[in-house]
Amino acid sequence: MTGKRFHTISLLVIVFGLLLFFTEFSRFSYVREITKFVNTLIAPFLEFKDQTIRELQEELRAYLHFVDTEKENIKLRRRLNSLMLTEKELQACLAELENLGRQMNVSSHFEKLSYKVSRIIYYDPSGFDLFVVIEGGKDKGFKEGDLVVTESYVVGVVETVFTSTSRVITPFNENFSCTAVVGTSLRKYIYRGGYPLGNLLHVKLEDKVEVGSEVFMVDVRGKLPPFLIGKIEEVKRGKDPFFKEVKVKPKVDPRSEELVYIIRRSP
Amino acid sequence: MKYGIVFVLSFLVQIVFLQTLFKPGFIAPDLLLVVLLSKAYLSGRGAILWAILGGALLDLTTDNIGLNLALQTLAVYLFLLAYEKLLFRNLFTFLIPASVVLLLKRLLALFMMRSKFSFDMSWGIFTLAWLVEIILLIGVYFLYLKRKE
A44-67 pLDDT, tens digit each:
888 888 898 899 999 999 999 999
Q: Does B54 touch chain A (CB under 8 A)?
A: no
Q: Does A90 touch chain B (CB under 8 A)?
A: no
* CATH number, position B121: 1.10.1760
**Contact between chains at B66 and A1 (C-beta distance less than 8 A):** no
CA end-to-end span of chain B:
19
Closest CA to A24 of B55, B93, B16, B117: B117
Q: Considering only CB atoms, which chain B residues are within 8 Å of A21?
A: 64-67, 70, 112
Whether this prediction's pTM lies above 0.80 is answered by no
Query: A188 with A179: CB under 8 angstroms?
Result: yes
Q: Does A16 touch chain B (CB under 8 A)?
A: yes
In this prediction, residues A151-156 reach a mean pLDDT of 89
Length of chain A measured in residues = 267
Range of the domain at B6: 2-148
Closest CA to B13 of B47, B54, B46: B54
> Is 0.90 exceeded by the ipTM?
no
**Contact between chains at B64 and A21 (C-beta distance less than 8 A):** yes
In this prediction, residues A186-195 reach a mean pLDDT of 90
pLDDT at A267 over 60: no
Segment of A71-85, A184-198, A220-234, B33-47 carrying the highest mean pLDDT: A71-85
B80-133 pLDDT, tens digit each:
999 888 877 888 888 999 999 999 999 999 999 988 888 888 899 999 999 999
Per-window interface: B 85-144 vs A, CB < 8 A = 112, 116
Closest CA to B58 of A42, A50, A14: A42
